[in-house]
Amino acid sequence: MLKIALVGCGKAGENHAREISMLPDAVLVSVTDVEPLMAEQFAARFGVPRYYAESSQMISRERPDVVHIATPPQSHVPLAMAALDAGCHVVIEKPLALNHTAAEALVRQALRQQRKLTIAHSYHFDPICRLMRAMLDDGIIGEPVHVESFMGYALDGNFGLPVFTDVGHWVHGLPGKLAHNVIDHLLNKVTEFLPDDRPHIMAHAWQRDLRGGDAFAMPDELRIMLKGARVSAYATFSAHSRPVSHYLTVFGTRNTLHLDFVAGTLTRRSTPSLPGSLGRLSCGFDQAWKHAQSAGSNVVRFVRGDYDQMSGLRYLFASFYQCIRECTTPPIPYADILRVSAIVDEVFAQCPTQQRQTA
């Protein structure tokens, strides 16, 4: 049984604690938050035996196998370094660090200490992503040509609202502000198809609506175009389009796959097999059938308890713990993690957030 400790008792920490509690071979032994009241209520709600206000004290007393870091990104690197130096394996919330250089240093430290490191790219192992990879391996879509990653954002939602009512919120301290906090989810789905070390990147960001006054000025729309040697990609972050969507479309030389992360559906679009108007007529029925099939498989996932939105995170944790026990490589290669952080640096270098931009 692996002993797990969690640093950070906020919203992301809750997702970690919930998913850890569902794994049979790991137990959350302690939590830490710089605000002891947050740690105390968190421990009470999740049935965690002990809580601390200092992560160093927690690590020295509890000697956990794995430390999960779900604090604001500004503190990821020092906390993770300390945990690695103490001999713990580390899971870090996204973004890994504030810039690529710091991310590289962290990975180097993990290798030096011979400890394992991973990042909470929760959608990377979502059931529909795993299914997509199986279809790719089977050659169903052929060779990928282009991918589109789209992520909507609710400014009035649980994550957005606190940002626009607190000028001291940590999101304001990120180089890319609002978009920086979610851009990993946008890009890690794309980098999987762009193995290029230095893809061509064009990015543009702007603020569509100024909310809450000048103190809250920051881009809330972001468009990125990436081009590698064989595959191109669009990545879109939009805080104003409705409904709030979250999808990935993979255009291949044979078929196109559409992954809807809100509904949890994966559908395949194929060239009609019937000629002319009959083919066009069949398209709607074909799509309806594909959606019905995907919805049906979601019923099965629900019955198996694998349909909640964070089931990808659970799979990631389970895979990470397994790689620790079996001394194998982490589920997300370090090169993939660092490719994302390098692209993030380039995107925000092209989109300065200090001055308000308009469309």
**Nearest distance in Å: CB 96, another protein:** 21
Smallest distance, another protein to C-beta of residue 18, A: 6
* C-alpha span between 39 and 22 (Å, rounded): 20
Subset of residues 113 to 172 that bind another protein, contact rule: CB under 8 A: 158-159, 161-162, 164-168
The CA distance from 98 to 175, in Å, is: 7
Confirm or reject binding of residue 53 to another protein (CB under 8 A): no
Total residues contacting another protein (rule CB under 8 A)? 32
- Closest distance to another protein from the beta carbon of 232 (Å): 37
Which amino acid, 185? H
Q: How far apart are CA 250 and CA 255, in angstroms?
A: 9
Which amino acid, 190?
V
CB of 11 to another protein, least distance (A): 5
Please, are residues 322 and 25 in contact by the beta-carbon 8 Å criterion? no
Cis preceding-peptide flag for 95 (omega within 30 of 0): yes
Residues in 281-340 at the binding interface with another protein, rule: CB under 8 A: 302, 305, 307-308, 310
Which residues inside 7-26 make contact with another protein, applying CB under 8 A? 9-11, 13-14, 18, 22
Strand 66-69 with 144-152, pairing: unpaired
Alpha-carbon Rg for the chain, nearest whole angstrom, is 21
* Residue 41 C-beta: closest distance to another protein, Å: 5
Q: Are 170 and 177 in contact (CB under 8 A)?
A: no
Which among 314, 330, 317, 12 is positioned nearest to 159, based on CA atoms?
Answer: 12
Q: Give the contact letters, 193-222, x = binds to another protein (CB under 8 A), - = no.
A: ------------------xxx-xx------
With respect to another protein, which residue has the nearer C-beta, 128 or 342? 128
Q: Tell me which residues touch another protein (CB under 8 A).
A: 9-11, 13-14, 18, 22, 35, 37-38, 41, 44-45, 158-159, 161-162, 164-168, 211-213, 215-216, 302, 305, 307-308, 310
